[in-house]
Amino acid sequence: MDSSLFTHKSSLKVTLLGTGTSGGVPSLGCQCEVCRSQDPRDHRLRCVALVESATTRILIDCGPDIRQQLMPLPFKPFDAILMTHIHYDHVGGIDDLRPFSVFGPIRLYGDEKTCKHVRNIMPYCFGEHLYPGVPRLELHKIEPHVPLHVGDINIMPIQVMHGKMPILGFRIGSFAYITDMKTIGDEELPYLEGVETLVVNALRFEKEHHSHQLVADAALFARRIGAKHTYITHVCHHIGLYDEAQRRMPEGLNLAYDGEVLQCP
């Protein structure tokens, strides 16, 4: 496989703006020790990552907490919004991006199914006669294994399975971001060769889930691709208190937290 597909021109800064599962943490109505914790690392917004090079700015997913997540950041344009899949906790904040229309169209990239569903759930953003103030959205269909070039960043979409639903993960240089994965086909593994920094989902330690990995699954996957540094995201309150959960993590795995910044060469 052509190694140039996995290179980029400058180092990457990755900010994990959200590391929580679909309901976030604290969970509504729950009084467990995690949901009552005062440790900010136990407070988890829905999963979003910001990837930045020297000249390019990309969001991965845009969940319903995006306004809160972006408010502390500089108000600058995004070159792309990558969408892993259509579930609400990953796309429910697209309308909140409307202020960024002052910089031009908001470019959303997803597979055919995701792009189709965005049109269906936000019909007021598409068509000939748009009302004033509507988000200016551009949908771009992407496919697994077809490289995408945004600014100085090269992106390789890959396919993983969210239960029985195929969704996208993204390889960017030596960094890979995968969320909501249950399984992955052997044919995808060559596209992850050489990944050094991996962000991947694991819902909790125990109790099997039909469409999400557990921590042991994530550890096995990280070892399988040879990642040097692995960060666990898309976590629910059942993971336990941050310090205790981190001590339980298998060797080489770290429990990610909201606001964590990763430097990827």
- What is the reported pTM? 0.96
Looking at the 3D structure of the chain, how many domains does it have? 1
Distance between start and end Cα atoms, the chain: 21
**Does residue 135 contact residue 119 with C-beta atoms inside 8 Å?**
no
Range of the domain at 177: 3-264
Residue of 15, 45, 85 lying closest to 231 (CA atoms):
15
| CATH number for the domain harbouring residue 245 | 3.60.15.10
Q: pLDDT of the chain along its 265 residues, tens only?
A: 665 566 666 799 999 999 999 999 999 999 999 999 999 999 999 999 999 999 999 999 999 999 999 999 999 999 999 999 999 999 999 999 999 999 999 999 999 999 999 999 999 999 888 888 899 999 999 999 999 999 999 999 999 999 999 999 999 999 999 999 999 999 999 999 999 999 999 999 999 999 999 999 999 999 999 999 999 999 999 999 999 999 999 999 999 999 999 999 8
Return the beta strands (E) in 75-172 as ranges. Answer: 80-82, 106-110, 137-141, 148-150, 153-162, 165-172
**Does residue 199 contact residue 49 with C-beta atoms inside 8 Å?**
yes
CA distance 93 to 63: 5
CA distance 184 to 83: 18
